[in-house]
A and B are shown apart, each in its own frame.
Chain A
């Protein structure tokens, strides 16, 4: 399994890059920059996947106290923030030539930046809260509250700016997956990024498990030395 995931990620990523840059036709109105869309949208999928995984693992952790669920929540939170960051980086690169601005407070953009802040603060809590068991519980509470906030944020951002700039309709109509290869490319990049995210999470969870084992061994060694002396 440890070999399968990186290999599968590597191969699918190659296929996705080949499709996006060699096969898919250039979009008529937006031109070459539209090709960023395949990784942009796929990043959004993975980011949301990560955030929902945090909530699911947090519920399991509060319910059972399983250390594995806690490690999964941490890994999913980190991967979610990573791909949300990619989303916020690839978006403006596309927006600058198409909309003329790097950023606009469009509902979807606002929502993404709020979610980024919520899960960045989740990682802060885990990093600076302290190592105790209590902080894992606090993080789980935040992981659940964060996901409950998502639908409310979704509704509330629609209250922002009664008059939407025309850019949003351009985006809705203009992503235009007219060519069947475009859909294939999006699907393959989606699979590639999900595999990449799973691999990263597996690595992070293994790292956390080893760190916990080292800590346990160290405290055991220290008590034993105390007994001898």
Chain B
């Protein structure tokens, strides 16, 4: 089970590494969104740091949507998903592998976008880096847990491009609220003030990882 999940993770990362298609488009979109949000806010320099948490997570939400959608459309080409289903692998393992691949993809994108946000919005992320990494990881995991489930759904319905954000964004609102609140608290002075927000993130991650793991079988069954 764990071995097959890791095999799928390896496969997805290898495909991604060979084409670097999702990764490069997601990174460029991430940079673009940061620029767009910062310009749109047009905040005076002393108020700019206060924008960082919301710009950060709004950017990740939309870039993540794009990256995760690509991942499943790729499986549709040449009917790869049928091949994956024909393999003697538990649907839960496919789900786990894909969630992990998406977490890695998001993390790589963030490794570039987070320093940029620090630069554009005058936030020094260095001193709070460990706490910030924890919040980013919890946010990524929750996002990937839910987005992987719904990307599988959206990829196989008719109005797929519109449907994924439509289904996913309202469900992700509590994650967004928790992640923004946690990031704000962390940037203001470390994890101590972020306890409630981190609890929301952990609850979200646990509930939807388990739900996604159990429900994924109903989504990809034919």
Contacts and interface: CB of A to CB of B under 8 A. Distances in A.
A137 B218 contact: yes
B177 A156 contact: yes
A155 B211 CA distance: 19
Given A145-B146, A155-B174, A157-B177, 6 more contacts: A114-B173, A125-B163, A128-B162, A135-B157, A144-B211, A159-B181
A156 B203 CA distance: 10
Interface in B122-169: 146, 149-150, 153, 156-159, 162-163, 166-167, 169
B171 interface: yes
19 contacts: A114-B173, A118-B170, A121-B167, A124-B163, A124-B167, A125-B157, A125-B166, A128-B158, A129-B158, A138-B157, A141-B153, A141-B215, A145-B208, A155-B199, A156-B174, A156-B177, A158-B196, A159-B178, A159-B181
B211 A145 contact: yes
Interface stretch (A75-83, A146-154, A199-207): A146-154
Nearest to A146: B171
Given A141-B153, A141-B219, A145-B211, A117 B170 contact: yes
A144 B163 contact: no
Contact of A160 (B166, B169, B177): B177
Contacts of A141: 149, 153, 215, 218-219
Q: Is the interface of A mostly helix, strand, loop or mixed?
A: helix
A152 B181 contact: no
Nearest to B184: A159
Given A156-B200, A157-B177, A129 B157 contact: yes
Nearest to B168: A121
Interface of A: 62, 114, 117-118, 121, 124-125, 128-130, 134-135, 137-138, 140-142, 144-146, 148-149, 152-153, 155-160
Contact of B156 (A114, A134, A156, A157): A134
Contacts of A130: 157-158
Contacts of B196: 158-159
Nearest to B216: A141
A134 to B, nearest CB: 7
Shortest Cβ-Cβ A-B pairs, 9 listed: A156-B174, A117-B170, A129-B157, A159-B181, A156-B177, A118-B170, A128-B159, A138-B153, A152-B174
Contacts of B203: 152, 155
Contacts of A160: 177
B197 interface: yes
A142 B149 CA distance: 10
Nearest to B171: A149
Contact of A138 (B169, B170, B211, B219): B219
Interface string B15-35: 000000000000000000000
B169 to A, nearest CB: 8
Given A128-B163, A142-B167, A159-B177, A152 B157 contact: no
A141 B212 CA distance: 9
A112 to B, nearest CB: 12
Given A138-B219, A155-B200, A148 B208 contact: yes
A28 B80 CA distance: 68
